[in-house]
Amino acid sequence: MKYYDWHSPNRAERLNGILKAARKRAGLTQSTAAYKINCHDSYIQRVETGKDRPSIAFLVALIDQYGISDGDELHEIWWLARGHAPPGNVDPLAGMRVDSHYRDLVLQDTECMAYLTDGAYNVLAYNELWAETFEGDPPKNMLRWMMLDDTARGGPEVENPVLMNWESQWAPYFVTRLEQVISMSGGRNKELNQLLKEMKADPRAVHAYSSYAGTPIHSDGAFRPFNHFRQGAGYVRLFPVGVVGSTATIMRLKFTTSRPPHQIVLTSEGEVLEDIA
């Protein structure tokens, strides 16, 4: 992926080539594009030739009108036109490319089950403690597994699902998290959109989605009932770690066979003992 400073050599020439080609692919002249975006023809020309640095809102409108959706091309346009990467809510690659250091953090975790997912819930890395949770291989996509797989949520042929009390304890959390990720992606993540389509085609998943969408769910430090392959029924405590500016997530899960009645909360005034709701 390329990065450009505003004063980079050939920046304006490169930007002009990309935007002009995209506009022609969309069947637009500068005049028709200006009409659709509600600006003057001369401003379209100045933006395309790199003479003016457009606002974020204007550049988003221009990209939408030109029908540009390729992630690499979008990144290059934002660097050429504004000198920085696109914001997460207009970047289809946000969370889809994750620095390898986050994988290393997961692999080095010896206290909790841990896995790393990208912006479409694909599992990029997991540690041995997470692998030991399952009879076979761990899930390759957490959304598809948690919302659609009966080994996770239970079903007629699955007596002991991994995610115990799925309807009341797990589905609300994942629906809420999904809404956040979709919002950050701006609807431009094709893989995430496909997963959402699959989920809405499943009666149980779509019922959960319609029931819990818009409901604020506290997840950090929360307990959920969990059926561990080796240790049996118990609870996991969730510790999601977000990747800054991204929809990628490290999830840490601490397993216990009994649910503690209290937790220690850190405050600026010191430790506080609280009852666990």
For residues 35 and 105, what is the distance between their CA atoms, to the nearest angstrom?
Answer: 50
For residues 92 and 172, what is the distance between their CA atoms, to the nearest angstrom?
Answer: 25
Structure tokens at 100: 């390898």
> What integer is the mean pLDDT of 178-183?
78
pLDDT at position 162 is 96
Tell me the pLDDT band of 217, cut-offs 50, 70 and 90: low
For residues 213 and 98, what is the distance between their CA atoms, to the nearest angstrom?
Answer: 28
pLDDT at position 59 is 93
Reply yes or no on whether the pLDDT at 20 is more than 80. Answer: yes
Residue 209: φ, ψ to 5°: -65, -45
With H, G, I as helix, E, B as strand and everything else as coil, classify residue 17.
helix
* 40 touches 52 (CB < 8 A): no
pLDDT at position 275 is 87
Residue 239: DSSP 8-state: E
pLDDT in tens, 47-59: 999 999 999 889 9
Span of 13-22, 29-38, 235-244 with lowest mean pLDDT: 235-244
Structure tokens at 184: 């950050």
Structure tokens at 36: 């659709």
> What integer is the mean pLDDT of 181-196?
81
> What integer is the mean pLDDT of 87-94?
73
Q: What is the enclosing helix (H) or strand (E) of 267?
A: strand 262-267
Higher confidence at residue 22 or residue 159? 22
Reply yes or no on whether the pLDDT at 187 is more than 80. Answer: no
The Cα diameter of the chain in Å comes to 69
pLDDT-above-90 percentage for the chain = 59
Is residue 277 exposed (0-12), middle (13-18) or buried (19+ Cβ within 10 Å)? exposed
Reply yes or no on whether the pLDDT at 216 is more than 90. Answer: no
Q: What is the enclosing helix (H) or strand (E) of 270?
A: strand 270-275
With H, G, I as helix, E, B as strand and everything else as coil, classify residue 73.
helix
Tell me the pLDDT band of 115, cut-offs 50, 70 and 90: very high
Structure tokens at 147: 């919302």
Structure tokens at 106: 């997961």
* 95 touches 248 (CB < 8 A): yes
Reply yes or no on whether the pLDDT at 44 is more than 80. Answer: yes
Tell me the pLDDT band of 2, cut-offs 50, 70 and 90: low
pLDDT at position 191 is 87
Report the DSSP beta bridge partners of residue 237. 223, 254
Q: 203-232 burial by CB neighbour count: b if 16+ within 10 A, else e?
A: ebbeebbeebeeeeeeeeebbbbbbbeeee
Residue in 64, 72, 61, 73 with CA at minimum distance from that of residue 17:
73
SS3 content of the chain, % helix, strand, coil (to 5): 45, 20, 40
Alpha-carbon distance values, 167 to 123, 146, 163 (Å) = 23, 11, 9
Q: How many CB atoms lie within 10 A of CB 5?
A: 9
pLDDT at position 218 is 58
